[in-house]
Structure 1
Amino acid sequence: MDSDDSSGSSNGHDDYEDRVQNVILRAAELLGRRIADQPAPVINQRVPVDRNRIEAHARLMHDYFDDQLRYNARLFRKRFRMTKKLFLRIVGDLEASIDCMHWPWEMCPAAWRGTYTSGHVGRPSLILQAVASNDLRMWNAYFGQQGSHNDINVFEASPILEEIINGLAPSVPFSANGNHYEKGYYLGDDIYPEYATFVKTFSDPIDEKRRLFKKKQEWARKGIERAFGVLKKRWKVLKHLALYWNKKAIQDVCYVCIILHNMILEDEGKAVCQNYNDQ
């Protein structure tokens, strides 16, 4: 009697598990059918529009800035709401050049000389990366990288890269041709990355327009070289070997010279941040 009861209970338990499994399988089957009957989601992809910016830029230069203009100064002012002289002045102020210079370090510790020595300098040095506008004002300075680094190594370690990526670069709002812009541009050489904020020259211009652009871009980039030259001429300590043991002391001296350089420009009324009275 007991054996019959135990066998009956085990059979009942097996039947219960079979029913549960059947229910689960039916539920899974119904769910699969429902998913299969649903329409596939519609993904709207953005269609790229070829705006032919190169041709538009060439047409703009031909109409307003070539030697043989299509539109005169009156029509220029009507379209851009300002005189051509003021427009070119603003463009020059919005352009800032980025470059590096080496300050030879005479008292560099012997253990560091290998990593702080560059081949073209020939002795240990510290690198200053700066951004300067055409009025020689320095808007950004980063000093202290090893002399063996190249410009791109210094750029990747500097706060400028982080500011560009995170949208924290200084705001320079301006409007041109009906478009509003919040950021300026950096004039750099070929070693800098392909960012929209960098305006680089052509290494091998293939036509007259590219040769003209290369000439103008390289001329505009002389602002940073002139700024380095004025900085060294104004503060003789930067022109000679750094005679400090402490790297932090050298850094402080460099930054102080740059701050005083900018203060002198502002005091003499030569800084970009001034009122324009062109009519």
Structure 2
Amino acid sequence: MSFISSTSSSSSSDFSNNVEFDRLVDDYAANHLPHILIPQHSSQESQLNNDIANVPEPKRDREREKGHVQLYNDYFASNAVYNDNQFRCRFCMRRSLFCRIMNKVVEGDQFFQQRRNAAGKLGLSLLQKCTAAIRMLAYGVAPDVVDEYLHEDLRRILHQNELRGFPSMIGSIDCMHWEWKNCPTAWKAQYAGRSKTATLILEAVADQDLWIWHAFFGMPGSCNDLNFLYRSPVFDDVLQGRAPPINFWVNGRQYELAYYLADGIYPKWPTFIQGITHPQVQKDKLFADQQVTVRKDVERAFGVLQARFTILRQPALAFDEDILCDIMKSCIIMHNMIVEDERHNYTRADVLRRYYEEDRPQRTAARAGPSTSATVNNNEPFEFNIGRPPNIDFNAYFLRRIDLRDTEIHSSLKQDLVEHIWQNFRHNTAE
């Protein structure tokens, strides 16, 4: 019995000690441990820290004036640090063309004009803004916009292509895809093409000088060239009677529609001349080689366009499709201005110069009349109106549409071109 009584008293003592120990641990964890892990500052120190945090950080001087002076001395001074070749390499255009673009942009867009901010300080100069915008397009950093600039002399294009064996051919047509990295998820299936990535399509017509005189951009990448054609405005002027009339003779036959060189996916219309896939005779082989050579103009134009403006070679980062359209239009505009500025250095410049010198009186007389174009066909000026006609004759519209898609005229024109090229270029082939 004594053993049992002793054991019971010792157990009660141990239980009370454990309860007291737990209470001490809880009190330490609640009142002392937070001060050790997270040091507490006094009220004065806290107020001082709050005052320091509320003090605004002094604004840094961006030295815009110094940047303008350095930019001018590096590229635009009479004794600039970088010569003309280095400027052409860095900006993808000559210095004179850059200055012309800058002056036109400043005249038409207030954003590029130098202004003062709310504090009265001068902002970036027009030279800095234009330099940044053009280099952004050239190196693929970010987009910018300039005014529309798409126009060209049809006379020069017709003359160039006639020398190459395709009379009244106004260029080669094809499409290019631009990957859209930040395409909205809900649209990706619609914009995904063969590469399974979202893309936007550019349809373009280019001439031998790589001048892009027709461009239509923005269709989803799931469309092929044929789907794109049915939505393209490339034939709107022809269907509405606003296109300049063209009459030409090939192999003794007369035709009334200008045409493009295209690949095999395009329909067999009089306005598209495709190559011959498997030529069997020498005459067809010569035509196929000549057609492929000339048709590559538009693909060369795409390559040069992407080489000049890296932003088109990289996946597009913008989320808004309208922004991408502005980027594409801006790059094409400046590409055409570069071509126009440097065309006199091309190997064919002497041929075109003699053509213009011989034909200058006729073109001057054509401009003096009521015509809105100086294009001459068979040594006769023709007239056409610019702008949408107030009343559209639907009967004439459908007749033009039927002529535009006449497969018999297509076959006849293609055979006549085969004969024409054989008669004029067979001496260049090895017998």
TM-score range, shorter chain: 0.5 to 0.7
2:379 aligned partner? none
Counting only pairs closer than 5 Å after superposition, residues 132-171 of structure 1 correspond to structure 2 as: 132-169=206-243
Match of 1:234 among 308, 318, 324: 308
1:202 aligned partner? 276
Structure with a larger share of its residues in strand: 1
Corresponding residue SS for 1:143: strand
How far 1:245 sits from its partner (Å)?
0.2
How far 1:115 sits from its partner (Å)?
0.7
1:276 aligned partner? 353
How far 1:167 sits from its partner (Å)?
4.1
1:65 aligned partner? none
How far 1:99 sits from its partner (Å)?
0.2
| Residue 249 to residue 140, structure 1, CA distance change in 2 (3 Å) | same
2:193 aligned partner? 118
* 2:202 is the counterpart of 1:128: yes
Q: How many equivalent residue pairs?
A: 195
Contact persistence 2:307–2:313 (CA under 8 A) = yes
| Residue 171 to residue 122, structure 1, CA distance change in 2 (3 Å) | farther
Structure with a larger share of its residues in helix: 2
Q: Which amino acid aligns with 2:224?
A: N
- Give CA deviations for 1:5-60 in whole Å, capped at 9, x if unaligned: xxxxxxxxxxxxxxxxxxxxxxxxxxxxxxxxxxxxxxxxxxxxxxxxxxxxxxxx
How far 1:181 sits from its partner (Å)?
6.8
Percent identity between the aligned chains? 41
Corresponding residue SS for 1:159: coil
Contact persistence 2:168–2:248 (CA under 8 A) = no
How far 1:188 sits from its partner (Å)?
0.6
2:318 aligned partner? 244
- How far apart, in 1, do the equivalents of 2:167 and 2:329 lie? 25
- Give CA deviations for 1:186-211 in whole Å, capped at 9, x if unaligned: 00112112221211112222322112
How far 1:176 sits from its partner (Å)?
7.2
- How far apart, in 2, do the equivalents of 1:196 and 1:186 lie? 9
Q: Which amino acid aligns with 1:277?
A: R
- Give CA deviations for 1:82-116 in whole Å, capped at 9, x if unaligned: xx999516958844000000000000000000010
Contact persistence 1:117–1:147 (CA under 8 A) = yes
1:259 aligned partner? 333
Stretch moving more, 165-174 or 153-162: 165-174
Contact persistence 1:95–1:134 (CA under 8 A) = no
1:188 aligned partner? 262
Q: Which amino acid aligns with 1:135?
A: D
| Residue 151 to residue 87, structure 1, CA distance change in 2 (3 Å) | closer
Contact persistence 1:137–1:262 (CA under 8 A) = yes
* 2:222 is the counterpart of 1:222: no
Q: Which amino acid aligns with 1:136?
A: L
- How far apart, in 2, do the equivalents of 1:177 and 1:148 lie? 41
- Give CA deviations for 1:198-253 in whole Å, capped at 9, x if unaligned: 11112222322112111110111110000000000011110101000000000010
For structure 2, list consecutive stretches of 5 or more residues without a partner in the other structure.
Answer: 1-158, 359-431
- How far apart, in 2, do the equivalents of 1:102 and 1:152 lie? 14
| Residue 117 to residue 201, structure 1, CA distance change in 2 (3 Å) | same
Q: Which amino acid aligns with 1:276?
A: R
Q: Which amino acid aligns with 2:267?
A: P
Contact persistence 2:167–2:248 (CA under 8 A) = no
Q: Which amino acid aligns with 1:236?
A: T
How far 1:172 sits from its partner (Å)?
6.2
TM-score (norm 1): 0.61
Corresponding residue SS for 1:215: helix
- How far apart, in 1, do the equivalents of 2:167 and 2:328 lie? 27
Stretch moving more, 141-150 or 90-99: 90-99
- How far apart, in 2, do the equivalents of 1:152 and 1:88 lie? 29
Q: Which amino acid aligns with 1:206?
A: Q
- How far apart, in 1, do the equivalents of 2:273 and 2:293 lie? 13
For structure 1, list consecutive stretches of 5 or more residues without a partner in the other structure.
Answer: 1-83
| Residue 93 to residue 240, structure 1, CA distance change in 2 (3 Å) | farther
Q: Which amino acid aligns with 1:102?
A: H
TM-score (norm 2): 0.41
How far 1:135 sits from its partner (Å)?
1.0
Stretch moving more, 241-250 or 154-163: 154-163
How far 1:268 sits from its partner (Å)?
1.7
- Give CA deviations for 1:107-160 in whole Å, capped at 9, x if unaligned: 0000000010012x2310000000011110011000000000000111110101
The structure with the larger Rg is 2
- Give CA deviations for 1:56-92 in whole Å, capped at 9, x if unaligned: xxxxxxxxxxxxxxxxxxxxxxxxxxxx999516958
Q: Which amino acid aligns with 2:172?
A: S
| Residue 203 to residue 90, structure 1, CA distance change in 2 (3 Å) | closer
How far 1:165 sits from its partner (Å)?
3.4
Contact persistence 1:93–1:133 (CA under 8 A) = no
